[in-house]
A and B are shown apart, each in its own frame.
Chain A
Amino acid sequence: EPEVTQTPSHQVTQMGQEVILRCVPISNHLYFYWYRQILGQKVEFLVSFYNNEISEKSEIFDDQFSVERPDGSNFTLKIRSTKLEDSAMYFCASSEEKNTEAFFGQGTRLTVV
C-alpha cells in the first residue's frame, strides 16, 4: 500500500542550526502539507503546497521556515535557525485532491537543545 515516508525519524540539533526534514509523498498525490505537534498540544497546520508553490501557511510558518520540492519525489521542510520552541513532532501529509483525506507520514521528532 502506498505511504508517505519521512526521514529522519528523530533529529537532535543545536539551537541556531539549520535543519531539513524530508518527506516522500504518495506518488500520484498533488497536495502536500506539513503539520507539527508540540508535546502535549494539538496537531497544528504549518503549510500546504500545490503546483510548486505554497497555497496556504499558518502564523507559525514564519521566515525561519521554508518548503521545497527539489525533484519529483521529495518535499522538504527547512528551519533556518532553530529555536528551543521548534522542538516538536513534524508530520508530512499528502492528498490526491484538494480537501480530500490526507495521508500522513510517521513523523520526524525534532529536538532542539
Chain B
Amino acid sequence: ILNVEQSPQSLHVQEGDSTNFTCSFPSSNFYALHWYRWETAKSPEALFVMTLNGDEKKKGQISATLNTKEGYSYLYIKGSQPEDSATYLCAFDDYGGSQGNLIFGKGTKLSVKP
C-alpha cells in the first residue's frame, strides 16, 4: 500500500517566522509530487507539480524541493504571514500511466499569528 506522510501535523508560528515542513513518499515508481494549499472553506489550490529529482520551485515566498531518491519533499515559507494560514497537502503520483490517482498525505496545518 502506497503511503504518503506529512510532518508535522500542525504548526503554529508568529508572523515573520520562516517555516518548513516535510512530505515523505515512496521512492519507487515516482512520477510527480504535487503540493496544494487548502484554506478552510475553499478549494485546494495547486502550488507546485514537481517531477525531477533535485527540482526546486518557487512561488512568491513559498518554495519546495524534491528528492526522489530518498522520497521526500520540503515546503518552505519565508517570512510567514497570517494569510499563509492553511493546510498544505502533498500528493504523490506514482507513474505516468495513471490519470489523477494522486495519493494524498494528511496535510500540515499551518497557523500564523499576527
Contacts and interface: CB of A to CB of B under 8 A. Distances in A.
Contact of B100 (A3, A41, A42, A102): A102
Interface residues of B, number: 25
A98 interface: yes
Contacts of B41: 106
Contacts, number: 65
Given A99-B93, A101-B34, A104-B43, A48 B99 contact: yes
A45 B103 contact: yes
B104 interface: yes
Given A4-B43, A43-B104, A104-B45, 13 more contacts: A3-B43, A35-B102, A42-B104, A43-B91, A99-B98, A99-B100, A100-B49, A101-B46, A101-B49, A102-B102, A104-B36, A106-B41, A107-B43
Interface of B: 4, 31-32, 34, 36, 41-46, 49, 89, 91, 93, 96, 98-106
